Amino acid sequence: MIGIIDYGMGNILSVSKAFEMIGAEVTICNGPEDLAAVERIVLPGVGAFQGCMDNLRRAGFVEALEEMVLAGGKPILGICLGMQAMARRSFEHGEFPGLGWFDADVVRLDPADTALRVPQVGWNDIDFSPGIPLFAGLRPGSDFYFVHSYYMKCRDQANVAATCDYGGEVTAAVIKNNIFATQFHPEKSQDYGLRLLRNFVAWKP
């Protein structure tokens, strides 16, 4: 059972439908107590970092996620803002603390090519590290759909699972133990995205 967290800022419907397309059983987790019954967790997100963290704290999800993911070892997939929330802090419209699962800062895109607009909206190829199960069956240079103005800048490069080029190297995915997250939207990335979701369902970290 895949539990998708609903904290008021996620693209819940499209994420849920993508998992259903690959035959996964899905439930929406409206409260922290719902996380205990699922095998895997998805933290989606669209919007601003501060609002994301405020909503997660207000709903009681922060403590529950620490218990289920950090202590309990349940696999989790963060998507877009859900990935950024896993950083130590964000500099989006100020400085705000995140979950702190990655020693990383969330910073604004600053492409060297001034012709590239911020936010990055659309398809971009990614380069991923070999041997990561979440990318099994995907070829180097597979393209995924991005919509973001900020990205996670990791201090530990071992946590960087994939990058893309957007006027400079941008973190496209991160991994750490049972935690995996993508800056791109697999649920909007057609066949490649569905393959990644299948890999997440089968992942045994």
Compute how many other C-beta atoms are within 10 angstroms of the C-beta atom of residue 137.
11
- Concerning whether 185 is annotated as a catalytic residue, the answer is yes
Peptide bond before residue 133 is cis, with ω within 30 degrees of 0: no
- Measured in residues, the chain has a length of 205
Among the options 29, 52, 80, 154, which is catalytic? 80
- Concerning whether 92 is annotated as a catalytic residue, the answer is no
Among the options 29, 52, 164, 187, which is catalytic? 187
Parallel/antiparallel/unpaired status of strands 179-182 and 169-176: antiparallel
What residues pair up with 90 in beta bridges, in sequence order?
A: 96, 106
Looking up tokens 């702190």, which residue turns up? 100
Given a contact cutoff of 8 angstroms between Cβ atoms, the answer to whether 33 and 69 are in contact is no
Looking only at Cα atoms, what is the longest distance across the chain?
48
- Concerning whether 187 is annotated as a catalytic residue, the answer is yes
* Residues recognised as catalytic: 80, 185, 187
